[in-house]
């Protein structure tokens, strides 16, 4: 996606931090922007900041206050944005996120439900709600869209490694990465694309996220206080500027990048990523007997073909992995054939 002027964007977490930076940058690029957040006062303030930064009209920015984990509320917000702007977003960016730190073994159900609900479930909600609408409105055939469209999600460097003190967050972000890889494989046939943004530290207010944890999910196993939030906030204050981060994302979208990783110094991050991958590499290299058996099996299949019945189709069977037959916006190439 390269042409943003006059198009529609829908950005979650758009009232502050990375989401606000994205809203500012894409509004300046000429987009009408819907920003979704659970904090009404922050949304009102964000509209003014976006208008001042982008030089756009107030009517080009639509604030939507709702809980992103509430699917009915999300769908109603999507309907409102579509009615006001005249169509679904050409660009969906899901950036809202929360975090809380504590020993993984101290985690409660509420810790997982809150962090994974915002960081993963809200992403699923937006994709399920918006992608069919985007395909119907803008999708084309053979990779040529009627209009350009794209989905993006703000993930984290935490997606690439576990953390004994960040279990729910790391698990959610790892799932988000794989989810976006899947959409990146599926959407090009319609002329769309997908990008996942994996930053390190961002200058945002995520350090205060515990203040907005819902009452019914406050049974945490972690030590949380004004002091812990102050410490986190001081760390995030040194992170990348949200508009600068948005520039990395915009460049990635323009160039069809599936993954964008703005961080540095690269040597330190490569060292961390390699350390994480060594667990897998060590298994592959040391499982000699298992590898030998697999090699023998593959060689036998090359000599003799697959075992009898390996690829036979049972009577009454149908190809699996296809879409429901009444979903007429699904490209036929996305359904399997025998």
pLDDT band at residue 309, thresholds of 50, 70 and 90?
low
Q: Residue 302 has what pLDDT?
A: 79
Beta bridge pairs of residue 32 = 8
Model confidence at 105: pLDDT above 90: yes
- Residue 276: predicted pLDDT: 75
Confidence of residue 301 (pLDDT cuts 50, 70, 90): confident
Residue 68 has pLDDT above 80, yes or no: yes
Please report, for residues 109, 119, 228, 265, the alpha-carbon distance to residue 95 in angstroms, rounded to integers and kept in the order given: 23, 8, 23, 24
Cis (ω within 30 of 0) for the bond into 265?
yes
Residue 104: HSE in the Cβ half-sphere, 13 Å Cα cutoff: 10
- Averaged over 198-211, what is the pLDDT? 90
Contact 98, 212 (CB under 8 A): yes
The residue that leads in pLDDT, 207 or 43, is 43
Confidence of residue 48 (pLDDT cuts 50, 70, 90): very high
Q: Any catalytic annotation for residue 248?
A: no
Q: Is the dihedral of CA 162, 166, 169, 173 positive or negative?
A: negative
Distance CA 97, CA 228 (A): 18
Of 74, 138, 169, 190, which is the active-site residue?
169
From 97, 71, 79, 121, select the one nearest 12 (Cα to Cα).
Answer: 97
pTM for this predicted structure = 0.91
Residue 265: pLDDT band (50, 70, 90) is: low
pLDDT > 70? residue 128: yes
Q: What is the pLDDT of residue 338?
A: 66
pLDDT of residue 268: 73
């Amino acid at each position: 996606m390269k042409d943003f002027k006059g198009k529609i964007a829908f950005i979650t977490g758009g009232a502050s931090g990375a989401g606000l930076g994205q809203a500012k940058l894409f509004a300046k690029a000429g987009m009408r922007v819907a920003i979704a957040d659970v904090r009404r006062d922050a949304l009102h303030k964000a509209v003014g900041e976006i208008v001042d930064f982008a030089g756009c009209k107030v009517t080009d920015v639509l604030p939507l206050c709702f809980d992103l984990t509430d699917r009915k509320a999300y769908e109603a917000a999507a309907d409102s944005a579509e009615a006001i702007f005249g169509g679904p977003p050409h660009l969906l960016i899901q950036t809202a996120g929360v975090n809380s730190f504590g020993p993984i073994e101290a985690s409660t159900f509420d810790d997982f439900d809150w962090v994974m609900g915002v960081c993963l479930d809200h992403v699923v909600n937006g994709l399920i709600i918006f992608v069919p609408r985007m395909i119907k409105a803008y999708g084309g055939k053979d990779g040529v869209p009627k209009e350009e469209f794209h989905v993006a999600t703000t993930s984290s460097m935490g997606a690439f490694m576990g953390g004994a003190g960040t279990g729910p967050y790391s698990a959610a972000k790892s799932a988000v990465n794989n989810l976006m890889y899947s959409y990146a494989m599926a959407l090009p046939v319609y002329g769309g694309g997908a990008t996942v943004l994996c930053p390190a530290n961002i200058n945002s207010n995520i350090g205060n996220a515990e203040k907005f944890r819902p009452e019914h999910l406050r049974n945490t196993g972690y030590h949380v206080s004004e002091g812990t939030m102050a410490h986190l906030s001081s760390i995030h204050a040194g992170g990348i500027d949200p508009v600068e981060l948005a520039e990395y994302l915009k460049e990635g979208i323009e160039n069809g990048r599936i993954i964008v990783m703005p961080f540095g110094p690269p040597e330190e991050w490569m060292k961390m990523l390699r350390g994480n991958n060594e667990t897998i590499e060590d298994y592959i290299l040391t499982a000699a007997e298992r590898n030998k058996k697999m090699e023998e099996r593959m060689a036998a299949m090359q000599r003799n073909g697959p075992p009898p019945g390996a690829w036979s189709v049972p009577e009454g069977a149908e190809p699996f992995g296809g879409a429901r037959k009444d979903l007429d916006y699904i490209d036929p190439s996305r359904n399997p054939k025998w």
